[in-house]
Chains A and B, each alone.
Chain A
Amino acid sequence: MRNIYPKVVALCMIVLLFAGVTARAQQRITVKGRVTDAQSHAGIPGVSIVDAELKKGIAVTDPNGNYSVTIEMNKTLLFRFIGYEDKAIKVTKAELNLQLAPAEKFLKESVIVGYQRRTKETVTGAVSMVSHKDIQDVPVTNLEQLLQGKVAGMNIQNISGAPGFGGTINIRGISQLNVTGSGDEAFLSSSNPLLVIDNVPVEYDGGIDQSMLQPGAATGPLSLLPPEDIESIEIFKDAQAASLYGSRGANGVIVITTRRGNSPVPIINFNNSVFLNTPPQLRPVWGGQLERDFRTYAILNYSEYDFLAKLQFANAQFITDSLNGFYNNSTDWQGLFYQKTFNSNHNLQISGGNAKMNYKANMGYQMYQGVIKNTGFNRYTANLQLNLQPNERLRISGQLFAALGQKQRGNGGGLTGNGAGSAFSSSLLPGPSHFLDFPELRAYIENVDDNNTMNIRSYLSVDYELLKGLRLTSATSYDYTTDTRDRFNQAFSNNNQTMVYGYISRRGELNTRNGLAYNFTTNPANSEKAHNLLVTAFTEANIRELETHVRDLRNGPSDYYWGPRGYSPRFYPGNPWNNAGGWNANGTLNSATYHALSFAGVISYNFRTKYNVDFSYRADGNSASGTKSRYAINPSVGVRYNFTKEPVFREMNFIDYGSVRGSYGINSRPASTRVNSLGYYAIYSDYNNMPAIGPDWGKMPNPFLQSEKAYQYNFGFEMSLFKGRVSVTYDTYFKESYNILQDQRLSDITGYNDIQVNGGAIVNYGHEFVLGLRPFVSSKAGGFQWNLNFNGAIARSVLTKLPAGLQMARFDDGGPFYIDLARKVGRNPFSNYIYQTEGIYQDNADVPVDPIRGVRYKTGRGNGVTYFQAGDPRWKDVNGDYFLDDRDDNVLSGNPEPMVTGGISSTWSYKNFSLNVFASYLLKRTILNTAMTSRLMKLTQPANTEYTGPGGGSVNIYDLDLIDYWQKSGDMSKYPNIYYVWRNGQIQPFRADQTLWEEDGSYFKLNQVTLAYTFRDFNFMKRLKLRSLRAYATAFNVAIFSPYSGPNPENVSQLGRDNINGYPSARTYTAGFTAEF
C-alpha cells in the first residue's frame, strides 16, 4: 500500500508538470481544494480535473479527494468522475471546494447488449437493471435469493432453504411442459434464462440436474458468485434483447457484470459480516399424554373390529405400557434436528487503474451453516480481472474466476426431501442419550453427504480497431467445473445396510466469439445531431463436454468400511438412478459432448438518438438437433422512439425523458437430444440364437427434430418526470413458445412405441409495471430522502397446442400420491387433474343414493362396498354413475403458476442513517398442501411409530386442535374425520389427489430490512486512513404473510406441491461493516 501512494503522487506531479509547460505565458495560480460527494460528503478519489478549453486532463484527486493544480486565472476546470455529474468551475480563487452530485443518468447509462456496450436510450428491447446497491448487505448462498422481486416479470421462488441449492426462476412465465418424478417430488423442467457473467455465457443450471433428486452436487453458478463482487445485473426479457444470445436466450438473459477497477488510486474494499441463521417457528406438536390419548382413542373407537383393536394394542407396547419409563416420554424431536448457527462472510476487493490499465481482485469467503444439523455451504471465491488499453486501437481484457463451493447435505436429499419433516417420531419414545440412539436422528447427524464444486472460468478478449470505427473482436472463454459428491450412510440409520454413493462429473464449456463491429456517425462530437450506425457480425462456437460417473453401493460389511468400490449385485437393480432396464430414467446426466456454431449480425441505426432501429439475425446450429434441421434462425427487429427529444418537449422541463419502443423476434432453445433425433441400437439375442443388433423399438428417431422456439412481441413505454422524482416503465408482451418437444404415441404398426416431435406450444402474455417515486428529495447533504420503488407483473400462460391435434393430455403421476396433471389446450399449461372435494358428509343420509341400484355412492367401480358415510370427503361424482373413479371423476383444477409477482423497495435516508425495507409478493397461485396430506395420512396408523403406507416416514402428531376436522354431524369442517383408522384403507379420505389440499399460495414477504450507518469525517478514520466506513444490520427473510395453512407458501415445488420433508427457509440476522481504504 505505502509504496503505491508515492507513485500516484509522482504521476500527478508529472501531469502537473506538463500542464505547467503549456500555459507558461498566462498568470498562474495554484488552486487547492477537496472534491466531495454531495450526498455522503466523503472525499472522492481519482476525480479527473480537466482543462475545459484544451480538453486535457491535468490532475486527479488523491485518496481523500484533495487536489492541487496550477493553472491560469479565469480558466475553467472541469471535474469529471464516473457516476457523477460533471462540474465546471471558473478559477477565481486559490481554494475551491466542491461537491459532485451523483449523476442522474436516466438513459445515458450503458447497457451491454449482445456483447456490445450501448447507451440505454438506443436500446429497443426490454431491459431491466439491478444495481449492486440493490443486492448488498445480505449474505446468501445463492444470488437468486437477492434478485427475488427486484425485476418485474422475473419470478423467483426460493423453493428450498437448503444452503447452496437454487430456487426456481422464470422470466415471463414458464415455457416448458416436461415433468419428471411424481407426487410432491414432481419436477417441472426449468425455464431458466441464459446467464452471462462478464461476457461469458454460463449454463444457469450448471451442476443442477433436471429432477428433484439431484444426484450431483446441485451447486449452480449463482451460488458460487459473491454478491459483493457484482457491479450490475441486466435482465433481458424480450426477444430483441435476447436474440443476440442466440440459441439459449429463449427464456431471457441475465447479464452479470462484476466490479472493475476505475480509480487511479488503489482502493481496498473490505466487507465483513457475521450472521445468525435461525430456524422458523416450529410446528406445535402433541406429546406425552396427549399423543397417547389420541392413539388409544383412535384404535379403540375406529378399528374395524374390536378384536383388531386389541391386536393392535398388543403390538403397540409404546402406547399401552405407559408406566414403563422407556415409553413414558414427551420428546421434542423437532428441536433435536434444528439449530441456530453463527456464520461469517468476508469479501476483500482490491481495484485500481485508469482507462489504460485497470485491475481488480476480489476474494470472498462465506461460511453458511444450515438450520438443520449437518448441513451447510462454504464458498471460497477469487475473481481477478485485468483490462489493458495500450493505445487507442487495442483493448485487451482478461479475467480469471475461481470458486470452490463445499456443500454438506446431511442426510442427502435433492431439491426437496432434504428437510427433516419425515424424521420426527413419536414423542413417547425416549430421546437420544448415551445409551440410546435413534436411527432417523442419527441419520441427520452422522451421515455424510459432502459435495464439492470447483469452478474455474477464464476469459480473454482482444479488441482491435482496424480502421476508424471498425473494430475486430475476439473473445474466448473456458468454463470448467467439477462436481463431486460423497455419501456414506451409516447402517444403523439405513435399515442396517450401509450405503456408499459417489458422484463425479466434469463439465467444460469452450466458447469463442469472433467478429467485426463498425461504428459510424456523421457527427462524432454529438451523437444527438447525427446519423449513428452500428453494424456487427460475429460467429460464435460453443463446445460443451460433460462426463458423469455414479457409483452407488449398498449393504457394506460395517460402518467402518466405506466400500467396496464395485457393484453390489444384490441391490444394483434397485439403484435409484437406474431403472431395471439399466438406463437412466431419473435424469442422471450422461456423458456427452455438444457442439454449437452460430452466425450473427446486427444493424443498429439511430437518427439523433431519437429514432432507433435494430435488426439482428442469428443462425444457431447444434449437434443435438435432428440431422435434417441443424440450424435455427433467430431474427429480430426493434424500434424505439425517444419522443421527448422532439423540440416540443424542450420547453417542458418537468419531463426528463420519455420513450416508446416495440420489438419482435424469434429465439430458440436447443432441447432435442441425440437419442431422440438419431435413435439408438439395442442388442437382441433372437436371430439364429446369435446376438443381433437392431434399433431400439422404444423411441422412433426423428431426424427432423428442431430446436424449441419462441417468438415474442414486446411493447414498452418509459418516462421520467420531475428530475427523476417519478419514473414509470411499462412493458407488455405476447410470447409464444412453440416447437416444444412432446412425446407422441405411435400406432403399433410402426413397430415403435412413440416418437418425440415438436408438438407443443405455450403462450405467455402479460404486463409489467415499474414505478419509482422519490417523494422526498433533499438537495442538502444529509437531508431526508425517500426512495420508493414498486414493480409488479401480471403474467398468464396458456397452452395453445399439443401434438397430433390433441386437446388434452393427462400426465399420469403414479404412486404414492397419484396427483395427475393435465395439459389442456386453452388453459394454463398445467392443471391438477384430481377429485373435487365439496365439503364433508355431515350425515350418512347426505350420501347420494343410486336410484336404480339402491346403494350409496362409493369409491371404485364395480360391486364393492366402500360406501361413503358421515365424516368422509364429499367428492364430486362427475359422470353421475355413483362410483368415484379415476377414469371419469377427475376435474381440472388449479394453476401452479402465479398470476402476479413483484416487489416493493423503500429506502429512507437521513444524515448518516439509511433504512431499507424490501418486500416481495405473489398473488393467485394454487398450492397443493401435500405436507398436510402426509401429516393426516400418518394419523391413520395410530398403532405405529412408523407409517408404512405411501410416503412413509415416522409418525409425529401435530397439534390436532389446530386442524379443522369433522367430529360430529353438523361440523362444517374443512378436513374429514382424522380418526378414520380403518376407513383410510377403505376410501382413503386423505388421498392426495383431491382439491381439498388446494390452497391459495398468495403471499407478501418481508425479504429484507437493513439499517445502515455511514461513518463520516471521524478522526479515527483519518488516523486509520479509512476512506469510508459503513456499518449495517440486516434481517433477511423476516416474515411471510399468507392465507396458506402450511409453513411457507414459497417452499413448494414449481408445480405447487409442498413436501413435508422440505428444508425450511432460515431467517438471517446480519451485522457487518464495509470499509474502504
Chain B
Amino acid sequence: MQKKNTWDLRRLYAAAALFATLLGAAGCYKDLLPDEQDHLSNNMNYTTENFVAVLGKTNVFINVFNADYSTQPLTFTLENIRSGDKQPAPILSQQIDTRQWKTWYSGFEKTIDEIMSKTFVSKRPILDIRENSGEIIFWNVDSNTVAYGKYFFDVRVKNKAGERVFANLTLDVRRPHPYEPYTIDDITGIQKPLASGGLVKAHDARNVRDYMQRLLPKDSIDVFFVKTGTAKNTVSVRFFNPDSSIIPLTVFDMQRWDSLYYYSPQAATRVKFGFNQRFDTDSTIVTWDIPNPFPVLTDVSGGLDMAQVGFDFKRVNFGRQEAGYVMVRFAIQEPGEWTVAVKFRQKPKFEDD
C-alpha cells in the first residue's frame, strides 16, 4: 500500500511538473508569433526620374516620391553619382554653403537684413536628398563649380524591412537663368526663337495708345534685362520709345509709388515691391534694392512666385478720361544691379488729347 502511494505521488509530481511546464509555456505565446516588421512596398517609385536643374538657383523637387504606404521612416541616401560618361562625379557630393531658413518668409519683412536674419548658412552637398522623404535638392551653384550636362545617380531607400535602389535617376543640369522669363535656351545656350520666348514682352498693358489712337497690345512692348553692375543687388526700371529716347517716369501720373505690391502665392500675401525705392535726378530711372533671389521664394516655388509691378497713368483720350498701365513681371536669379528696360515698338502717347 505504501509503495502504491509513492507511485501515485510520483505520478502526481510528474503531472504537476507537466502542468507547471505548460503554464510556463503559456507565457511564451508571443514568441510563437511573427514580429511586426516594416513594410517596404514593391510599388514605391519616383514619380519622375529626370530632374531638370538650373544652375544659379536652388532647385527643390518636391512631391516626387510615392512610398505606397511603406513603413515610415524611410531613409534615403544618394549613391553612385556619376557624370554623363558614367565616370564618378564627386563634385556633386562636395559640401557647399547653402542658405536655409530658420523661420518662414512672411512677406512683411521691412528690410533685406530682416529677411537675411531669418536664414542661416549650412554646409550641404551640392546634390542633396531629404533624408526621410526622398525629395531631391540641387543647391545653388554656378557653372564654374558644376558643368552643365547630364548626371546620373542612384537612390537607396531603406527601412527595417530591407532596402531598394532606384537606379539611374537623371540629373539634367542646365545653364543658369539669370532672370525669368529667360530668353536663352538653357540647353543650347542660344536665344530662343522670338515667337517662343526669345523676347520678353510686357506682362500686361491697358489703354496704351500710340499717336494714331491705336491701342498698343502688350506684345508690342518689349522688355530687356540688362545687368549693369555687381556692387549690390538692385533692380531698376526705365522706359524707352522705339527710337530709344527715354520716357520719363513722370508720365505715370497715377502711379502710387509708396504702395507697390505684388502677390506671392507662396507667402500667401501681397508683398511690397523691393526696398529703398529711389529715382535718379531726372526721374527716368526708378531703382529698388532687392533680395536675391527676387522674389524671395521664386526658386523654391516652382516658378509661381514672380515679382510684378505696374506703372499707372491717365490721360484724356478724345475728351474721355482713360486710365492705363504697363505691367512687367519677372524674377531675378543672378545677383547684381539689373535694369529692366521697357521699350515700346510704337511711340506711346501719354499726353492728353
In chain A between 734 and 768, which residues have their CB closer than 8 angstroms to a CB of chain B? 734, 763, 765, 767
A853 and B72 contacting across the interface, CB-CB below 8 Å: no
B33 and A826 contacting across the interface, CB-CB below 8 Å: yes
B102 and A851 contacting across the interface, CB-CB below 8 Å: yes
Contact of A849 among B36, B101, B137 (CB under 8 A): B101
B9 and A648 contacting across the interface, CB-CB below 8 Å: yes
Contact of B132 among A851, A853, A879 (CB under 8 A): A879
A807 and B161 contacting across the interface, CB-CB below 8 Å: yes
Contact flag A643-B12 (CB < 8 Å), given A854-B296, A855-B297, A862-B63: yes
B33 and A800 contacting across the interface, CB-CB below 8 Å: yes
B311 contacts chain A at the CB level, 8 A cutoff: no
Measured in the bound complex, the distance between the Cα atoms of B39 and A833 in whole Å is 14
In the assembled complex, the CB of B241 is this many whole angstroms from the nearest CB of chain A, namely: 39
- What sequence of 0s and 1s flags, for each residue 19-45 of chain B, a beta carbon within 8 Å of any chain A beta carbon? 100110010010011111111100000
Measured in the bound complex, the distance between the Cα atoms of B352 and A218 in whole Å is 85
Contacts of B8 in A (CB 8 A): 646-648
Task: Name the residue of chain B whose CB is nearest to the CB of A857.
Answer: B104
B69 and A810 contacting across the interface, CB-CB below 8 Å: yes
Of A732, A822, A851, A883, chain B has the most CB atoms within 10 Å of the CB of A851
B101 and A854 contacting across the interface, CB-CB below 8 Å: yes
Contacts of B161 in A (CB 8 A): 807
In the assembled complex, the CB of A529 is this many whole angstroms from the nearest CB of chain B, namely: 16
A732 and B26 contacting across the interface, CB-CB below 8 Å: yes
A960 contacts chain B at the CB level, 8 A cutoff: no
In the assembled complex, the CB of B151 is this many whole angstroms from the nearest CB of chain A, namely: 20
In the assembled complex, the CB of A1050 is this many whole angstroms from the nearest CB of chain B, namely: 28
Task: Name the residue of chain B whose CB is nearest to the CB of A856.
Answer: B104
A881 and B102 contacting across the interface, CB-CB below 8 Å: no
Contact of B67 among A646, A854, A887 (CB under 8 A): A887
A888 contacts chain B at the CB level, 8 A cutoff: yes
Contact flag A887-B66 (CB < 8 Å), given A808-B39, A851-B102, A855-B104: yes
A660 and B19 contacting across the interface, CB-CB below 8 Å: yes
B245 contacts chain A at the CB level, 8 A cutoff: no
B137 and A852 contacting across the interface, CB-CB below 8 Å: yes
Contact of A881 among B35, B36, B62, B68 (CB under 8 A): B62
Measured in the bound complex, the distance between the Cα atoms of B62 and A861 in whole Å is 8
Contact of A808 among B60, B69, B297 (CB under 8 A): B69
A545 contacts chain B at the CB level, 8 A cutoff: no
Measured in the bound complex, the distance between the Cα atoms of B33 and A824 in whole Å is 13
A662 and B67 contacting across the interface, CB-CB below 8 Å: no
In chain B between 297 and 348, which residues have their CB closer than 8 angstroms to a CB of chain A? 297, 300-302, 304
B100 contacts chain A at the CB level, 8 A cutoff: yes
In the assembled complex, the CB of A542 is this many whole angstroms from the nearest CB of chain B, namely: 35
Contact of A767 among B26, B104, B301 (CB under 8 A): B26
Task: Name the residue of chain B whose CB is nearest to the CB of A647.
Answer: B8
Contact of B15 among A660, A826, A854, A880 (CB under 8 A): A660
B36 and A827 contacting across the interface, CB-CB below 8 Å: yes
Measured in the bound complex, the distance between the Cα atoms of B268 and A867 in whole Å is 9
Measured in the bound complex, the distance between the Cα atoms of B274 and A177 in whole Å is 61
Measured in the bound complex, the distance between the Cα atoms of B78 and A895 in whole Å is 38
Task: Name the residue of chain B whose CB is nearest to the CB of A807.
Answer: B39
In chain A between 818 and 874, which residues have their CB closer than 8 angstroms to a CB of chain B? 822, 824-827, 833, 845, 847, 849-856, 861-863, 865, 867
B12 and A646 contacting across the interface, CB-CB below 8 Å: yes
Measured in the bound complex, the distance between the Cα atoms of B70 and A889 in whole Å is 11
A798 contacts chain B at the CB level, 8 A cutoff: yes
B4 contacts chain A at the CB level, 8 A cutoff: yes
Measured in the bound complex, the distance between the Cα atoms of B33 and A827 in whole Å is 10
Measured in the bound complex, the distance between the Cα atoms of B34 and A800 in whole Å is 6
In chain A between 747 and 798, which residues have their CB closer than 8 angstroms to a CB of chain B? 763, 765, 767, 796, 798
B101 and A853 contacting across the interface, CB-CB below 8 Å: yes
Contacts of A855 in B (CB 8 A): 104-105, 266-267, 297, 300
B180 contacts chain A at the CB level, 8 A cutoff: no
In the assembled complex, the CB of B1 is this many whole angstroms from the nearest CB of chain A, namely: 9
B296 and A880 contacting across the interface, CB-CB below 8 Å: no
Task: Name the residue of chain B whose CB is nearest to the CB of A641.
Answer: B15
Contact flag A845-B33 (CB < 8 Å), given A648-B12, A879-B72, A888-B67: no
Measured in the bound complex, the distance between the Cα atoms of B22 and A850 in whole Å is 56
A863 and B302 contacting across the interface, CB-CB below 8 Å: yes
Classify chain B's interface size: 35 or more
In chain B between 189 and 208, which residues have their CB closer than 8 angstroms to a CB of chain A? none
Contact of A878 among B22, B72, B119, B135 (CB under 8 A): B72
- What sequence of 0s and 1s flags, for each residue 58-80 of chain B, a beta carbon within 8 Å of any chain A beta carbon? 10101100111101111000000
Contacts of A878 in B (CB 8 A): 72-73, 132
Contact of B4 among A647, A845, A889 (CB under 8 A): A647
Contact of A734 among B32, B40, B297 (CB under 8 A): B32
B22 and A863 contacting across the interface, CB-CB below 8 Å: no
B26 and A715 contacting across the interface, CB-CB below 8 Å: yes
A607 contacts chain B at the CB level, 8 A cutoff: no
Contact of B300 among A822, A826, A854, A867 (CB under 8 A): A854
In the assembled complex, the CB of B55 is this many whole angstroms from the nearest CB of chain A, namely: 17
In the assembled complex, the CB of B126 is this many whole angstroms from the nearest CB of chain A, namely: 14
A717 contacts chain B at the CB level, 8 A cutoff: yes
A881 and B133 contacting across the interface, CB-CB below 8 Å: yes
Contacts of B23 in A (CB 8 A): 715, 732
B297 and A881 contacting across the interface, CB-CB below 8 Å: no
Contact of B60 among A648, A810, A845, A853 (CB under 8 A): A853
B118 contacts chain A at the CB level, 8 A cutoff: yes
B69 and A887 contacting across the interface, CB-CB below 8 Å: yes
In the assembled complex, the CB of B290 is this many whole angstroms from the nearest CB of chain A, namely: 16
B163 contacts chain A at the CB level, 8 A cutoff: no
Contacts of B281 in A (CB 8 A): none
Contact flag A854-B105 (CB < 8 Å), given A861-B63, A887-B67, A888-B72: yes
Contacts of A847 in B (CB 8 A): 104
Of B8, B26, B73, chain A has the most CB atoms within 10 Å of the CB of B26
B217 contacts chain A at the CB level, 8 A cutoff: no
Task: Name the residue of chain A whose CB is nearest to the CB of B299.
Answer: A853
Measured in the bound complex, the distance between the Cα atoms of B29 and A765 in whole Å is 7
A879 and B74 contacting across the interface, CB-CB below 8 Å: yes
In the assembled complex, the CB of B21 is this many whole angstroms from the nearest CB of chain A, namely: 10
In the assembled complex, the CB of A715 is this many whole angstroms from the nearest CB of chain B, namely: 5
B214 contacts chain A at the CB level, 8 A cutoff: no
B256 contacts chain A at the CB level, 8 A cutoff: no
Contact flag A865-B39 (CB < 8 Å), given A717-B19, A800-B33: no
In chain A between 888 and 935, which residues have their CB closer than 8 angstroms to a CB of chain B? 888-891
Task: Name the residue of chain B whose CB is nearest to the CB of A878.
Answer: B72
Contact of A852 among B9, B11, B101, B296 (CB under 8 A): B101
In the assembled complex, the CB of A406 is this many whole angstroms from the nearest CB of chain B, namely: 47
In the assembled complex, the CB of A890 is this many whole angstroms from the nearest CB of chain B, namely: 8
Contacts of B63 in A (CB 8 A): 861-862, 881, 883
Contact of B39 among A732, A798, A824, A879 (CB under 8 A): A824
B131 contacts chain A at the CB level, 8 A cutoff: yes
Contacts of B144 in A (CB 8 A): none
Measured in the bound complex, the distance between the Cα atoms of B26 and A845 in whole Å is 52
Contacts of A862 in B (CB 8 A): 62-63
B101 and A825 contacting across the interface, CB-CB below 8 Å: no
In the assembled complex, the CB of A803 is this many whole angstroms from the nearest CB of chain B, namely: 14
Measured in the bound complex, the distance between the Cα atoms of B62 and A313 in whole Å is 41
In the assembled complex, the CB of B244 is this many whole angstroms from the nearest CB of chain A, namely: 40
B132 and A880 contacting across the interface, CB-CB below 8 Å: yes
User: Interface on B for A, CB 8 Å cutoff?
Assistant: 4-5, 8-9, 11-12, 15, 19, 22-23, 26, 29, 32-40, 58, 60, 62-63, 66-69, 71-74, 100-105, 118-119, 122, 130-133, 135, 137, 161, 265-268, 296-297, 300-302, 304
8 A-B residue pairs with Cβ-Cβ distance under 8 Å, sorted by A, are A641-B15, A807-B161, A849-B101, A849-B102, A849-B104, A854-B119, A854-B296, A883-B62
Q: A855-B267, A881-B135, A891-B72 are in contact. List 10 more A-B contacts (CB 8 A).
A: A763-B29, A807-B37, A825-B36, A827-B36, A861-B62, A865-B266, A867-B104, A879-B67, A880-B132, A887-B66
Closest 5 CB pairs of A and B: A826-B36, A881-B133, A865-B268, A854-B101, A808-B39
